[in-house]
Amino acid sequence: MDFLHTADWQIGMAARQAAGAGEKIREARLQTAQRIVAVAHEHKAQAILLAGDQFEDSQVGDDLVHRILKILADAAPVPVFVLPGNHDPLGPASIYQRRAFQHAPANMVIIREANPLVREDLGAVLLPFPITQKRATIDPTEHLPAFAGSGLIRIGLTHGSLRIEGKYQEDDHPIALDAARRQNLDYLALGHWHSYYSPDARCSYPGTPEPTGFDEPGSGTVNLVHIAGPGSVPVVERLPVARLNWHLWDEETAEPFDALLDDWRRRVEALQGTERCLLRLRLRGRLPAGLDVLLEDFADWARARLLYFDLDTTRLVPDLKAGRLQELAQAHPLLAGVLADLAALEHAGPGRNGSSEPAEVPPLDSADAGVIHEAAALLARLAGEVWP
Amino acid sequence: MILHSLQVEGFRCFRSPTGLQELDPRLNLVVGPNESGKSTLFLALCHAFFTPYRSAGGELASLQPWETTLAPRVMVEFEDAGVRYRLEKQFLHGPACRLSEVKGDKLELLAEAEAADEKVRALLLGDKPGRGPARAEHWGLARLLWSPQGQAEAGTMSEAARDRLQAALGRMTVDAGEAELTGKIEDLYADIFTKARGDYQKGAEVRQRGDELARLTRELEALQAQHAENESRAVKYQDLQAEEQRLRQARQLKAAEAETLRADLERVRELRGNEKLASTKLQALQEKFVRVEADRTRLADARKVLAEQGEPEPPAETDDGSLRAEEQRLAAELAEVRASLDRLGALRKQAEKQQEQRGIQEALARLATPLEETERLTAERAERAGRLRDVKSPRTEDLQAARKQTDRLRELNGQLKSVGLTVDVHLEAEAEIIFEGSEGKQEQFLLAGGKQQFVSADQATIHLPGFGTLHIRSGAGEIRQLQAERQKLLTGLRDLLDRFGVTTLEELEARRQQCDSEQKELASLDEQIRLAAGKHETLAGLKQEHARLSTLLQSADQPPEVLDLDQIQRELDAEVKRVRTLEAALLQVTRAMQEASARQAQQAVARGQRESARQAAEQVRADLMRAYVDEPAVEQAYQEARREREAAQHALADLQAALPAGGDGPEARVHELQADLTRLDDEIRARHDAIVGLQALLDQSAELGLFSQIAVLKETCELAKVRHVQADRHARAVQLLRNLVQTRRQEVAANLTGPIEARVGQLLGRVTSRQDRRPVFDDRLQLQGVRVGAADTQRSIDLLSGGTQEQLSVLVRLACGLYLAESERQLVVLDDTLVYSDSARHERFQDLLLEAADRLQIVLLSCHPERYRLLAEAKVHNLGAE
């Protein structure tokens, strides 16, 4: 038996890490869903298992519900088993109570009760446990329905966190690591974690098929699971389906800056499908006065090419002892004094008055590195206007 | 800058053109008495340079001469940086301002109106006032160099003036570029922050971004609240469902119980009917039993009565006559004792009468002595009273009249003597002299050489036997009046004395004393009589009592023998006791006789009752025998009725035991259950309605897609937050830069005050002859304190006298002027300063002024020219007498 195992589509989620591209990111998740259906067809999957959190919340708009229903209808005749997760749990306000689901496609099975689903046609029995609460301390696999029959592949389907120290919370639907063995399952299809994870050959998380941020390695795929027969060890193949590419670059500033920026430009252009790329450039190192202008130019350039670009300069340390401002300071003592004060403040750290010369610098409780940087940049700009 | 001339017109006290001409470039002393206009000239100078010519308002109007509408005008010629200027300014009416350069005899117009104002201000680094006339803070350099009257403290320093002073000091200064940079930072700061409080400006981006973020956050929170409400509705929905389920289960239980109870209800009703029948039967049997039992009891009672009638009667109680005999004996003895009592009573009366007569006799004996004494005293009093009645006693008013007349007579005699005749006789031979005057006739025999004086009123006759008679008369009318009055008085006095048989006043007074003495004697006798008479008070009272007692004694019968009253009383007491004993015994016998009679009566009644009872019992028995035939039948009927009653009681108890417990029975329970079911139906319906309502709300809100809206709004908020953070960082960066620049400039100011403090300290040492004090100024040259000696501690300026503080304010101006004069001579104006300086310091000050005049143009305005005699070289401008 071959089937697709996926979860955590999180349809309708907010893109807070890339707020400016929220609509595009939400649309991309729908496109990924379409892609999953296509992949199912491509690989002749006999079923699609959705292991929860198809929707980010039970109160997403009806338009999204209809879009998903349409996409899943396109999967026909492949049956789609939909398990409610902690983001879209069963209940009176569940999204699965919407009228839209009264006209769900025939191939779509919404799992509303923990009853075994015997599918002789698939040679398998599905043993699901739907989630009805956002948080719960019970192990959902302990409540999988019993099935005494034989000759069928036993597939468990539920949603929760494996009890791995540091990676779960007691009220986050905790699941025993050896749940598949305990429940005598051929395969335990789980959902909840956004990165692929498999504690053993009979259990896995497929991860979200579309990453939700810059820090989700192991996402963007679905599991194509092959089980030869009851008792056989499943063979899992991860198939990429993600529409968007999230990139996080940690870079250090180094002179010559022009060359550095040119290098970044070349790397951006080399990205696959730049219009589907989201890039966060996280800089560290020193920031001499004047570099910020160059960086802003680069940011504008990148935004014109990428779906989303974010320049994170919060880790940069303003360098006030180099550049043209320092040259001007040689001839203008007031300017030199102010630069010395900024340098002293920067050296003293946020919220501290560390200037030793002059002795009396007004308290600057809000003077953090960003403010000092901004002040230095501003001073440089104004000085450039006064002494072109 | 130095001043060449100053001319005013229509300016306060100066209606016509007045001013200072050809001012000396070194020293000028403008003198004049109070109100001659010295300070007005100073004021005119300030307005000329710093007040915009179009300024108006009450303060400028006050510059006009009193009760005129003249336009105040000022014309100043001055020199700055080698250029000589003429400034003409007119305020209020036809305001005008012209600045010209003086080139020889010609004027070359440089600027007019606001441009001229601006140019002049720029020369002295002044600031344009906002509205109205310029004030000291707008004076620029002049604030450092000119001292208005009555202003002790040194002028504060503007930024521009400080820069000029710094330049003069050759110290670190702010160059033009840095000034521009500072200006740009200030502009940026002013775009973002308010000047007064440093708050965000309304139009500042950071504020707008903040407002936008706050608005979006509020919207997001509102949506999230709705979202949370929907979530809570879902929870409530589930709770309601569970509750409805519980209620339905409860209803099922209640309905099942009601059904079971209804089946039992028929059986219970049948039992109830049987119970009622059994109860009725029991009641009838109970009545029968009671009736038979009563008959049985009646028969038993009758039999008992009849049985008792067969027993012998108890003996009747009778009187045996002993009681009556005893009663008669006691009565006889009692009569005997009472007779004895009567006899003893008569004897006691006689004894009492004898005792009374003895008392009267004793009383008569006691009365004899006082009666005798009282009679004696009464006789003596009657005698004295008779004597007193024969003597006529003068009254007090008679005495007073006599004394008054006598006094007046004596007074008249004196007057007559003083105005009357006084005859001094001096005989050379012995002779008899007979003098007859108003006082009567006097006969005297005088020896040879004897002298005698005679007085008389208005006439006298001196007869010298053997020699002849000498008649002397006085013609004074007053004497006659006095004599007439005297005669009248004499007549009245004699009449008065005659009434009492006396001839002189003294006799009259003696008579009165005698009468008073007699009266006292009489009173004394009255008192003695009262004492002697005792409670009877008078002799008559005593006599009356004596007569009464004598009468009583004579009327009393004398008993044949003397009786012993005490003996008689003792006998009486014994007989009384005996009477009481006899009476008690008699009473006891009488009661015993009464009780015996009562018992006999009771025995008679009892006999009657027994007879009646017997008759009644016979009747009852006869009646019962008629009903029951014989006596065993009564007992048989009783036993039968008892058995029937007990059987009925058992049957009823069995039925009642078969009925369900509880007073109201199953009907009440069924009714209660029915009410519960109704209530449960209502509650279930209410829950169901609520569930349906909630479902509708949930469906409705789900379709709204709240979360999708929240997602979009969260992203918008995120963007707004980023924009706000950027704007906030920019604002704080601007604030930081401004603070740093200001701090740096304060450092520059610190560099400026040091040399000024040193220079002023040095000058102060020269004026005060003390070198150990150095003043301390702030960055605006305001005096803050003083350091004394090598001590680093700053002390309060209160340590300095008012005079020293005033001297310091002038010295600051001189010091600043001397520094500024490095490039060109500077004008220092001192209006009425140093008024508190002692003469020594004042003289040393004049030395300083002479020295400073080498580099400064000094204009002193004073109403005490004599105090500046050391400034002989000064050009004096006299504003004239008042």
Which has the minimum average pLDDT: A234-238, B90-94, B110-114, B306-310? Answer: B306-310
Report the pLDDT value the prediction gives residue B532, as an integer from 0 to 100: 87
Report the percentage of chain A scoring pLDDT > 90. 71
Place of tokens 């016509």: B16
Q: How far is CA B172 from the centre of its chain?
A: 71
pLDDT of residue A364 exceeding 60, the answer is no
Q: Which of A13, A14, A92 sits opposite B234 (nearest CB)?
A: A92
| A243-289 confidence digits (pLDDT tens) | 999 999 999 998 888 999 999 999 999 998 999 999 999 999 888 76
Interchain pair A361, B739: CB under 8 A: yes
State whether residue B670 is helix, strand or coil.
Answer: helix
Q: What is the mean pLDDT of residues B813-826?
A: 87
Q: Tell which B residues from 733 to 762 touch A, by Cβ distance under 8 Å.
A: 733-734, 736-737, 739-748
Q: What is the mean pLDDT of residues A29-54?
A: 97
Burial (CB count <10 Å: 0-12, 13-18, 19+), residue B785: middle
Q: Tell which B residues from 673 to 712 touch A, by Cβ distance under 8 Å.
A: 694-695, 698-699, 701-712
Would you state the torsion angle of the CA atoms of residues B188, B189, B193, B198, taken in this order, to the nearest 10 degrees? Answer: 180
What is the full DSSP assignment across B188-207?
Answer: HHHHHB-TTT-PBPTT-HHH
**In degrees rounded to 5, what are phi and psi of residue B760?**
-65, -40
pLDDT of residue B127 exceeding 70, the answer is yes
DSSP state of B163: H
What is the full DSSP assignment across B252-300?
Answer: HHHHHHHHHHHHHHHHHHHHHHHHHHHHHHHHHHHHHHHHHHHHHHHHH
Q: Looking at the complex, does the CB of residue B188 fall below 8 Å from at least one CB of chain A?
A: yes
Alpha-carbon distances, residue B80 vs A130, B101, B102, B123, B124 (angstroms): 96, 11, 12, 8, 9
Interchain pair A375, B181: CB under 8 A: no
Interchain pair B714, A14: CB under 8 A: yes
Interchain pair B707, A56: CB under 8 A: yes
- The token duo for A238 is 């991860």
Q: What is the mean pLDDT of residues B314-327?
A: 69
Q: What is the mean pLDDT of residues B120-137?
A: 86
| B640-686 confidence digits (pLDDT tens) | 999 999 999 999 998 888 887 766 667 788 888 899 999 999 999 99
- The token duo for A301 is 């350039």
Would you state the torsion angle of the CA atoms of residues B618, B622, B628, B629, taken in this order, to the nearest 10 degrees? Answer: 120
pLDDT of residue B439 exceeding 70, the answer is yes
Report the percentage of chain B scoring pLDDT > 70. 95
Q: How far is A348 from chain B (nearest CA, A)?
A: 15
| B737-770 confidence digits (pLDDT tens) | 999 988 887 777 667 777 888 888 888 888 888 8
Alpha-carbon distances, residue B671 vs B261, B263, B658, B678 (angstroms): 10, 14, 22, 11
Q: What is the mean pLDDT of residues B573-601?
A: 85
Quote the CA–CA distance of A131 and A137 in Å, as a whole number.
12
Q: What is the mean pLDDT of residues B230-253?
A: 91
- The token duo for B349 is 């009366």
Which has the minimum average pLDDT: A83-92, B114-123, B407-416, B794-803? Answer: B794-803
Q: Which residues of B touch A387 (CB under 8 A)?
A: 177
Amino acid at A327: E
| B191-209 confidence digits (pLDDT tens) | 999 887 888 998 999 999 9
What is the full DSSP assignment across A220-241?
Answer: SEEEEEE--STTPPPEEEEEE-
Q: Is the bond preceding residue A256 a cis peptide, omega within 30 degrees?
A: yes
Q: What is the mean pLDDT of residues B425-441?
A: 85
Alpha-carbon distances, residue B199 vs A363, B191, B207, B210, B726 (angstroms): 17, 11, 10, 13, 18
Quote the CA–CA distance of B314 and B326 in Å, as a whole number.
28
**In contact, B282 and B652? CB cutoff 8 Å:** yes
Band of pLDDT at residue A361, cut at 50, 70 and 90: very low
pLDDT of residue B471 exceeding 60, the answer is yes
Q: Which residues of B touch A362 (CB under 8 A)?
A: 739, 742-743
Quote the CA–CA distance of B206 and B201 in Å, as a whole number.
9
pLDDT of residue A360 exceeding 50, the answer is no
Q: Which of A13, A59, A378 sits opposite B737 (nearest CB)?
A: A378
Quote the CA–CA distance of A97 and A83 in Å, as a whole number.
13
User: Best of B232, B724, B736, B741 to disrupt the A interface by mutation (most A CBs within 10 Å)?
Assistant: B736
The full length of chain B comes to 882
Characterize the bridge pairing of strands A187-191 and A203-205: parallel
**In contact, A339 and A377? CB cutoff 8 Å:** no
Q: Is the bond preceding residue A358 a cis peptide, omega within 30 degrees?
A: yes
Q: CA nearest A90: which of A142, A54, A133, A141?
A: A133
Report the pLDDT value the prediction gives residue A358, as an integer from 0 to 100: 32
| A149-192 confidence digits (pLDDT tens) | 889 999 999 999 999 999 999 999 999 999 999 999 999 999 99
Q: Which of A20, A63, A93 sits opposite B719 (nearest CB)?
A: A20
Q: Bridge-partner residues for B436, per DSSP?
A: B441, B461
Q: How far is B193 from chain A (nearest CA, A)?
A: 16
Q: Bridge-partner residues for A248, per DSSP?
A: A280
**In contact, A8 and A221? CB cutoff 8 Å:** no
Characterize the bridge pairing of strands A174-175 and A161-162: parallel
Report the pLDDT value the prediction gives residue B317, as an integer from 0 to 100: 58
Amino acid at B851: E
Q: Looking at the complex, does the CB of residue B242 fall below 8 Å from at least one CB of chain A?
A: no
Q: What is the mean pLDDT of residues A74-100?
A: 94
Would you state the torsion angle of the CA atoms of residues B497, B498, B503, B506, taken in this order, to the nearest 10 degrees? Answer: -30
Report the pLDDT value the prediction gives residue B664, as an integer from 0 to 100: 64
pTM of the model: 0.52
Quote the CA–CA distance of B629 and B728 in Å, as a whole number.
132
Interchain pair B740, A378: CB under 8 A: no
**In contact, A135 and A172? CB cutoff 8 Å:** yes
| B684-696 confidence digits (pLDDT tens) | 999 999 999 988 8
Q: Which residues of B touch A379 (CB under 8 A)?
A: 737
Top-confidence residue, B468 or B115? B115
Band of pLDDT at residue B480, cut at 50, 70 and 90: confident
Q: Which residues contact A271 (CB under 8 A, 6 or more apart)?
A: A245, A247, A277, A279, A306
Model ipTM value: 0.87
Report the pLDDT value the prediction gives residue B608, as an integer from 0 to 100: 86
Q: What is the mean pLDDT of residues A215-228?
A: 95
What is the full DSSP assignment across B673-733?
Answer: HHHHHHHHHHHHHHHHHHHHHHHHHHHHHHHHTHHHHHHHHHHHHHHHHHHHHHHHHHHHH
Burial (CB count <10 Å: 0-12, 13-18, 19+), residue A265: middle
Where does B556-664 have alpha helices with state H?
Answer: 565-628, 631-658
Burial (CB count <10 Å: 0-12, 13-18, 19+), residue B539: buried
Report the pLDDT value the prediction gives residue B560, as an integer from 0 to 100: 62
Top-confidence residue, B315 or B305? B305
pLDDT of residue A359 exceeding 50, the answer is no
Band of pLDDT at residue B42, cut at 50, 70 and 90: very high
Q: How far is A62 from chain B (nearest CA, A)?
A: 6
| B148-171 confidence digits (pLDDT tens) | 887 656 556 777 777 777 777 765
Q: Does residue B22 come out as left (phi exceeding 0), alpha (psi in the -120 to 50 range) or beta?
A: left
Quote the CA–CA distance of B497 and A275 in Å, as a whole number.
171
